[in-house]
Amino acid sequence: MSKLTKQKIELIRQFAERFDCSFEVDGKEITLEQAIDVFNGEQPKEKTLEERRADFVESLRPYAVKYGSDMLNKFYKYWAVVYGNEMKFEGQKSWDVEKRLAKWYQNDLEYERQRYIQQLNSKL
């Protein structure tokens, strides 16, 4: 297989941006640059912990308005804890950030409700 020409790389880049494509190799999401390397017959380079951490932060940004920075910070601190060479969320069998945030929010509301009830009971 021959290497991609600059023209083909630019076409892939335009296609990926226009149709908001994501790329996977062996079940792991990779960047467009890594996908181009794969198309050229190279193995994708593993992202560093800091790059993966930055990607995780970016995946939370769309939810800042909905859930607020305080809750997102707590969520991040819990799921970004490093065990060995991976963050806690990376070790999960399945991961859907939207569903995890929704459940976290529900649990947070329930915790606050229970705390409020305890405060009322202690005043009685």
**Domain residues of the chain, as ranges?**
6-39, 49-123
Bridge partners, residue 9, by sequence? none
* CA distance linking residue 75 with residue 108, whole number of Å: 10
Task: Tell the burial category of 76 from Cβ atoms under 10 Å away from its Cβ (0-12, 13-18, 19+).
Answer: middle
pTM of the entire predicted model: 0.64
DSSP string covering 73-113: HHHHHHHT-EETTEEGGGGSSS--HHHHHHHHHHHHHHHHH
Structure tokens at 52: 């993966």
Tens digit of each residue's pLDDT, the chain (124 residues): 567 788 888 888 888 888 888 888 777 777 778 888 877 778 767 788 999 999 999 999 999 999 999 999 999 999 999 998 899 999 999 999 999 999 999 999 998 888 888 888 887 7
| pLDDT at residue 78 in the model | 96
Query: Residue 41: its pLDDT value, please?
Result: 79
SS3 29: strand
Q: Which two tokens stand for residue 49?
A: 């912990």
For residue 102, the model assigns a pLDDT of: 96
pLDDT of 1 reads: 54
According to DSSP, the β-strands at 28-30 and 86-87 are unpaired
Strand, coil or helix: what is 39? helix
CA gyration radius, the chain: 20
Give the pLDDT confidence score for residue 24 in this predicted structure.
81
